[in-house]
Amino acid sequence: NRKVVNLQADGSAMYTNQALWTMAREKLDVCTVIYNNSAYAILSFELMRVGVENPGERARSMLDLSNPTIDWVSLATGMGVSASRATTVTEFREQFSAAMQTPGPRLIEVILQA
């Protein structure tokens, strides 16, 4: 009977975005916060771990999620989940506070600046 907070990166969320539909269908009290840095950052880290220090242009482009830019607010809304985008700490604080006060599924996309 408590709200669940799901912290998610944009790259890993691409593997499981159907969970948004499930959240809406089941009316789950889940707030998903997507940290959007427009990259599969974990895969960049894994390349370094296996010794690839200077990946080529093609490899780097495959880790870039900005071409095209993913609109998480539209994706969530299209699956029945209320959503918003925060570009500042103040916006995030306000949106997160509202999400904690409101039952049901919610997504907040947090735009991270490089």
Instruction: Tell me the H-state helices in 1-114.
Output: 10-13, 19-25, 41-49, 57-62, 72-78, 89-101
pLDDT of 78 > 80? The answer is yes
Taking residues 64-83, report their average pLDDT. 93
Taking residues 54-64, report their average pLDDT. 78
Confidence of residue 114 (pLDDT cuts 50, 70, 90): low
* pLDDT, tens digit (0-9, with 9 covering 90-100), for 11-51: 889 888 999 999 999 999 999 999 999 887 777 777 778 88
pLDDT of 101 > 80? The answer is yes
Mean pLDDT of the chain: 91
Q: Contact at 8 Å (CB) between 8 and 34?
A: yes
Sign of CA dihedral 79, 74, 14, 91: negative
Q: Percentage of the chain with pLDDT > 70?
A: 99
Q: How far apart are alpha carbons 12 and 35 in whole angstroms? A: 10
Q: How far apart are alpha carbons 55 and 95 in whole angstroms? A: 38
Q: Contact at 8 Å (CB) between 5 and 31?
A: yes
Residue type, 15: Y
pLDDT at 63: 77
